[in-house]
């Protein structure tokens, strides 16, 4: 069952066509990896899915009952709040019940390894700590669909492994996850299917079973390095 469908999405910023007719859908319970070089249009696509930016063309269909959690590429939180206060603030924005939110906030701080820093102000958080907090914030309210824009980019090695484990656990609970990363081994570990985006277009897609021994890195270099060159390992879309 489809949880999300993007049809012919286009986004123009003045003369720049950030997304140029991108179509793809996501199945419920699927972990979808978005891969593409810098400036390919991944974040812009995510922002259109979330309604944070309006498409110039095309549309996004998403079930109105679907609760979405979002961890942005560059998390920004009010610098004078503590980690715990940030999660409390977002729980109020979501109108979560105060009594129920508190234990959830504690659990998320623990899950993201921030319990010891929960009373520290955000201005004193490191990049990785902010990334962890953004992930915790995305999990508030137990969303059905998680959209994670480069969730592992600022994390140390242990943090990355923990994050990938968490994503796997969320998948086993039936959550749908869309995430984008430049760390191809991370995508390879957890994505059921990966789509390649170049110049705002779908350049190819591959499912885990279709990879059969080929590394995602190899496929990525072929796809991105030679637009228009056939690659027998990926299913190409016009
Ligand atoms: N607000 C904006 N105004 C003008 N141009 C923008 C804006 N946001 C993105 N762009 C342009 O749109 C294109 C796609 O950017 P986007 O951030 O979607 O890429 P990305 O695939 O997420 O890249 P990265 O991997 O570096 O995060 C780029 O050329 C970028 O300069
Ligand atoms: Mg981006």
How far is 186 from 33, CA to CA, in rounded Å?
A: 9
Q: What is the pLDDT of residue 141?
A: 94
Profile the chain (238 residues) by mean pLDDT over runs of 10 residues. Answer: 96 95 96 95 97 96 93 95 97 93 96 95 94 96 96 88 91 95 90 95 91 84 61 44
Q: Does domain 1-66+176-238 have CATH number 3.40.50.300?
A: yes
Q: Rg of the Cα trace of the chain?
A: 18
> How far apart (Å, rounded) are the C-alpha atoms in residues 163 and 23?
28
Hey, whose CA ends up nearest to atom 10 of ligand 1?
18
pTM of the model: 0.92
pLDDT score of 231: 39
Q: How far is the CA of 99 from the centre of ligand 2 (A)?
A: 36
Going by alpha carbons, the residue nearest to atom 5 of ligand 1 is 13
Q: Where are the domains of the chain?
A: 1-66+176-238
Q: Which atom of ligand 1 is nearest to the CA of 44?
A: 18
Alpha-helical (H) ranges within 83-228 are: 83-93, 98-111, 127-139, 157-172, 184-190, 208-211, 216-225
* Contact residues of ligand 1, CB 6 A cut-off: 13, 16, 18, 36, 38-44, 73
Cα–Cα nearest to 127, from 179, 62, 197, 76? 76
CB of 42 closer than 8 Å to CB of 197: yes
pLDDT of residue 232: 41
């Amino acid at each position: 069952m489809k949880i999300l469908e993007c049809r012919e999405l286009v986004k123009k910023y003045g003369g720049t066509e950030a997304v140029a007719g991108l179509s793809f859908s996501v199945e419920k319970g699927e972990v979808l990896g978005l891969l593409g070089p810098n400036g390919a249009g991944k974040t812009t696509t995510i922002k259109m899915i979330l309604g944070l930016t309006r498409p110039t063309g095309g549309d996004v269909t998403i079930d109105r009952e679907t609760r979405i959690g979002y961890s942005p590429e560059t998390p920004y939180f009010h610098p004078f709040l503590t980690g715990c206060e940030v999660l409390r603030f977002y729980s109020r924005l979501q109108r979560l019940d105060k009594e129920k939110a508190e234990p959830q906030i504690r659990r998320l701080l623990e899950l993201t390894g921030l319990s010891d820093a929960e009373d520290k102000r955000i201005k004193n958080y490191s990049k990785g700590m902010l990334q962890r907090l953004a992930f915790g914030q995305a999990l508030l309210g137990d969303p059905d669909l998680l959209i994670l824009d480069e969730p592992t980019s600022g994390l140390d090695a242990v943090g990355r492994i923990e994050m990938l484990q968490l994503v796997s656990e969320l998948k086993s609970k039936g959550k749908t996850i869309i995430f984008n990363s430049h760390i191809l081994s991370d995508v390879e570990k957890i994505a059921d299917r990966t789509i390649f985006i170049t110049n705002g277009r779908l350049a190819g897609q591959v499912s885990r079973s279709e990879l059969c021994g080929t590394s995602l890195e190899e496929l990525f270099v072929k796809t991105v390095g030679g637009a228009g060159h056939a690659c027998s390992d990926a299913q190409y879309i016009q």
